[in-house]
Amino acid sequence: MLIEVKNLSYKFNDFTALENVSFEIEKGDIVAIIGPNGSGKTTLLQNIIGVLSPTTGTITIDGEKPRDVRKKIGYVPQKFEFDRTIPISVHEFMSLEKCGKKGHDEKNIIEALREVGLEDVEEKQLGHLSGGQFQRVMIARALLHEKEILIFDEPSTGIDLVGEKTIYDLIKKINEDRGTTCLIVSHELNIVNKYTKKVVCINKQMVCYGSPEIVITPETLQKLYGSGTGLYHPHNHIH
């Protein structure tokens, strides 16, 4: 088992954000985490990458504490605060992410941009990219180092349907080509069904965990979002 979350609870002072959450993720899996706003998804991810530490319970990655294996994990945050007026090119932005070995940086940057289909924007200003392109640059940045695990927090928020499909196709391709274990927080249930093998449903507490066809039921959705959400459209496929 690559990632083991056992009886995880997390409190911000007196406020309980996560309570008794347990699940396991195998190497090479692609897993979605779903739940309403404020249900603790980002808090869960931050515990997994070792930025936060469990109040009670444990998380292990390859048997070790997350903060001891941070180098194995790439994180694409929910909101990367960026002032679009800052004059910085895509290439310069990517260069800020150090690659270690001298001389390999330039090649790595081009390869990573090619992998996300953006080699033609290398010299463009970061602030001039579309939302979808910007997010793909963020993914390319995470690809600069060989990571065992990639974590995406709502990667398609604010991006149109075509851009969204591009991003999820890309994540799937990285998962298949590199064997990278991928965790994605998503609101899009259609996407979850189509792209992921397993889904963790949380609402502070664990609601369910398993393959989407089995665990995403009307009852689960009721527990997550209450009634009348209209969130689930099983026939509304993306073409």
Token readout for 89 is 């090119």
Determine which residue in the list 39, 47, 166, 181 makes contact with ligand ADP, applying CB under 6 A: 39
State yes or no: residue 158 binds ligand ADP (CB under 6 A).
Answer: no
Report the C-alpha gap between 24 and 1 in whole angstroms: 7
Give the one entry of ligand ADP, Mg ion, none that residue 136 binds, where binding means its C-beta sits below a cut-off of 5 to 8 angstroms depending on kind. Answer: none
Q: Which stretch binds Mg ion (CB under 5 A): 78-86, 106-114, 164-172, 222-230?
A: 78-86
Report the C-alpha gap between 123 and 168 in whole angstroms: 25
**Is residue 180 within 8 Å of residue 148, measured between CB atoms?**
yes
Neighbours of 128 (CB within 10 A): 12
Nearer to ligand ADP among residue 37 and residue 236 (C-beta): 37
* CB 22 to ligand ADP: min, Å: 17
Q: Which stretch binds ligand ADP (CB under 6 A): 1-9, 41-49, 113-121, 220-228?
A: 41-49
Q: What residue type is assigned to position 194 of the chain?
A: K
Taking alpha carbons only, the member of 104, 106, 103 closest to residue 122 is 106
Determine which residue in the list 5, 33, 35, 42 makes contact with Mg ion, applying CB under 5 A: 42
β-sheet bridge partners, residue 21: 8
Q: Which stretch binds Mg ion (CB under 5 A): 40-48, 69-77, 89-97, 169-177?
A: 40-48
State yes or no: residue 156 binds Mg ion (CB under 5 A).
Answer: no
State yes or no: residue 47 binds ligand ADP (CB under 6 A).
Answer: no
Determine which residue in the list 17, 48, 139, 224 makes contact with ligand ADP, applying CB under 6 A: 17
- What's the burial of 215, exposed, middle or buried (CB within 10 Å: 0-12/13-18/19+)? middle
**Is residue 157 within 8 Å of residue 185, measured between CB atoms?**
no
State yes or no: residue 41 binds ligand ADP (CB under 6 A).
Answer: yes
Half-sphere exposure of 22 (CA within 13 A, CB side): 5
Determine which residue in the list 37, 85, 227, 236 makes contact with ligand ADP, applying CB under 6 A: 37
State yes or no: residue 43 binds ligand ADP (CB under 6 A).
Answer: yes
